[in-house]
Structures are given as structure tokens and as C-alpha cells.
């Protein structure tokens, strides 16, 4: 019997998760398939209950559903503390997990960038920002969260302060904070297709010792990362966060070790690289 998995989001057409997971299933000879489904916030509960009723193995959640899911599924302790869910497993009810933070951590550390002791500026206060802020604060980074709505940044920083060092500010603090940061993480959708010209910062705002990690992966080289290279700073593309968070979800659903390189190659091929 073919087990179905999927990703819910709105919009969802840009997602490369199906490419990645289907490549992993083929590589391992598993009778499973992974599809993308456009699901709005108001329909999320019905969509999750429907997936469970139809025997889905599990689903991923992306924008704008990660926080909405908290009131619907049973969150594990990490997802509960983060306040966002990106993975739902149906083996024993509906259990929600968050694998975004570990995905970001592995993507940065594989580039030999140390998180512990670093000053990290995270732009955005949505589900991915929450996961990364909690993960990096736990790992010993000093976190600043900047957001267009300053109160959201302040509220999130207060929550993150329960596990580490964190402060918040409005979007107008970005230039000053970049000057004093070791790592800049874009957790907004600025620069994502179909609006690739958006950016949270330009080369003039950066310094050569800065590492810039853009979690947007479509396009792979966002305008932010082009500006990073102009500044002589280190640019980290977003596809490996996608791969590593997906790999952790794969383990949760199947109990099987996923083929990381196969998943990475599928994402790159999906991006036309």
C-alpha cells in the first residue's frame, strides 16, 4: 500500500519538499509518495483530520500554518516552547514537532560557523524565526530579533529569554544591529519568488566578518545573498535548512535514516541547478 505524505501551505506552488521526499522514497525503495496541498489557515483543522482519516503517514506545515497548528495537534515539548509546528505525525494521534531550528543549525554549522557565543540578528518573528531563535539561544548565541511590528519582536524575545539571551527591536534597528552582529538570518519572505528583488539589507549595511543566512531557497541566490557577496561577507543559501529539517521529519515519520545527499540533489535539480 502506498503511504501518502504531504506539505500544507498557502502559497505552496514554490515548495520543493515533494522533490526532496519523493527522491528519498525512491532511493530507499519505499512505497510512499509526497504531495503539496494548498491549505488556508481556516481549513487547517479539517485538512489535518482528513489526512489522518485517509491514512496519511504525516505532513509538513509551512507559511502561514505553523503557529495555527498549535491549537489543533498535540505539540511535543520543543514545539510547544517554540510556539510553532512544521511536522505532524499520525502514528499515535496527531503529534506536532518542530524541525526548523535543527535544520538551520546544521546548515550553518556545516559551513564551520560557530553559533555558541555569536551575536545573531534574526529578522522576522514568524514560525521559522521562532524555531531558529529558540534553537540558537539554547546553543549559546546572543539573539536580537527585529521585526516590522516591533511588539512582536519584543514579545518573542521575552519568550526566548527563558532559554538564553535575547532582545527585540523594530525594523529600523537593522542597520545598527548588523554592524554589531556576527550572523544575520533572514526569516522573512523578502526575496522569495515571485518577488525576488526584495531584501532586508544591502551591501552598504554589511561588514566582511558577517555571515548571512537566508532561509529563502527559491531563488537559491536571493538578492540579499548577492548583496552579501558584494560586501565580501559569507553567504549561506537556504536549501540545506530545507534538506536538514526535512530529513528530521523523515526520521520522525518512518524511523528510517534518510539519504541526505539524494535529498539535496533533488532540491538543487528542482531549482534548475
- Annotation says 66 is catalytic: yes
How far apart, in Å, are the Cα atoms of 59 and each of 19, 141, 231? 15, 31, 39
Strands 58-61 and 3-9: parallel
Active-site residue identified among 45, 52, 66, 152? 66
Q: Which residues contact 12 (CB under 8 A, 6 or more apart)?
A: 36, 37, 38, 39, 62
Q: Could you say which DSSP state residue 238 is in?
A: S
Question: Which backbone phi and psi does 182 adopt, to 5 degrees?
Answer: -95, -35
Please count the other Cβ atoms lying within 10 Å of the Cβ belonging to residue 202.
15
The set of cell numbers assigned to 118 is: 555569536
Q: Which residues are catalytic?
A: 66
Amino acid at each position: 500500500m502506498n503511504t501518502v505524505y504531504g506539505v500544507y501551505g498557502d502559497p505552496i506552488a514554490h515548495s520543493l519538499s515533494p522533490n526532496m521526499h519523493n527522491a528519498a522514497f525512491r532511493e530507499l525503495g519505499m512505497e510512499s509518495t509526497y504531495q503539496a496541498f494548498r491549505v488556508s489557515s481556516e481549513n487547517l483543522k479539517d485538512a489535518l483530520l482528513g489526512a489522518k482519516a485517509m491514512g496519511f503517514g504525516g505532513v509538513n506545515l509551512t507559511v502561514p500554518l505553523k503557529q495555527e497548528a498549535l491549537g489543533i495537534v498535540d505539540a511535543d515539548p520543543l514545539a510547544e516552547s517554540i510556539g510553532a509546528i512544521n511536522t505532524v505525525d499520525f502514528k499515535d494521534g496527531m503529534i506536532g514537532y518542530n524541525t526548523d531550528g535543527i535544520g538551520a543549525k546544521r546548515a550553518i554549522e556545516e559551513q564551520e560557523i560557530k553559533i555558541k557565543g555569536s551575536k545573531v540578528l534574526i529578522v522576522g518573528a514568524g514560525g521559522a524565526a521562532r524555531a531558529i531563535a529558540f534553537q540558537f539561544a539554547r546553543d549559546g548565541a546572543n539573539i536580537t530579533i527585529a521585526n516590522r511590528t516591533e511588539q512582536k519582536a519584543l514579545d518573542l524575545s521575552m519568550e526566548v529569554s527563558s532559554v538564553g539571551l535575547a532582545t527585540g527591536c523594530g525594523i529600523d534597528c537593522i542597520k545598527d544591529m548588523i554592524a554589531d552582529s556576527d550572523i544575520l538570518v533572514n526569516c522573512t519572505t523578502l526575496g522569495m519568488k515571485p518577488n525576488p528583488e526584495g531584501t532586508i539589507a544591502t551591501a552598504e549595511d554589511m561588514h566582511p566578518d558577517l555571515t548571512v543566512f537566508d532561509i529563502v531557497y527559491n531563488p537559491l541566490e536571493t538578492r540579499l545573498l548577492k548583496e552579501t557577496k558584494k560586501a565580501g561577507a559569507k553567504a549561506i543559501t537556504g536549501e540545506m535548512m530545507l534538506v536538514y529539517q526535512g530529513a528530521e521529519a523523515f526520521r520522525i515519520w518512518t524511523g528510517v535514516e534518510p539519504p541526505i545527499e539524494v535529498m539535496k540533489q533533488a532540491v538543487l535539480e528542482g531549482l534548475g541547478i
